[in-house]
A and B are shown apart, each in its own frame.
Chain A
Amino acid sequence: MDIKEIIKEENIVYKKTSVLTDKVMHYCPGCTHGVVHKLVAEVIEEMGLQEKTIGVSPVGCSVFLYDYIDIDWQEAAHGRAPALATGIKRLMPDKVVFTYQGDGDLAAIGTAETIHACNRDENIVVIFINNGIYGMTGGQMAPTTLPGMKASTCPFGREPGQDGHPLKITEIVAQLPGTTFVTRQACHTPAAVRKTKKVLKKAFENQINKRGTSFVEVVATCNSGWKMSPVKANEWMEENMFPFYPLGDIKDI
Chain B
Amino acid sequence: MAKAKGAIVVDIEKCKGCSVCVSACPAQVINLAAEVNDKGYHYAYMENPDNCIGCANCGVVCPDTCITVYRAKPVTA
Contacts and interface: CB of A to CB of B under 8 A. Distances in A.
Contact of B70 (A13, A24, A33, A234): A13
A15 B11 CA distance: 11
A34 to B, nearest CB: 3
A30 B18 contact: yes
Nearest to A15: B68
Contact of B2 (A2, A15, A35): A2
A7 B6 CA distance: 8
Contacts of B3: 1
A107 B50 CA distance: 47
Given A14-B56, A230-B19, A32 B63 contact: yes
Given A6-B72, A24-B14, A30-B18, A35 B61 contact: yes
Interface stretch (A125-133, A134-142, A187-195): A187-195
Interface range, A side:
35 or more
Contacts of A189: 24, 61
A8 B54 CA distance: 13
Interface in B45-77: 49, 54-57, 59-65, 67-73
Interface of A: 1-3, 5-8, 10-16, 20, 24-25, 27-35, 38, 187, 189-190, 193-194, 229-231, 234
Interface of B: 2-7, 9, 14, 16-20, 22-24, 41, 49, 54-57, 59-65, 67-73
28 contacts: A1-B72, A3-B7, A5-B72, A6-B6, A6-B7, A6-B70, A7-B9, A7-B70, A11-B71, A12-B70, A13-B6, A13-B54, A13-B70, A14-B60, A25-B63, A27-B63, A30-B16, A30-B18, A30-B20, A30-B63, A31-B63, A34-B62, A35-B62, A38-B63, A38-B65, A189-B61, A229-B19, A234-B20
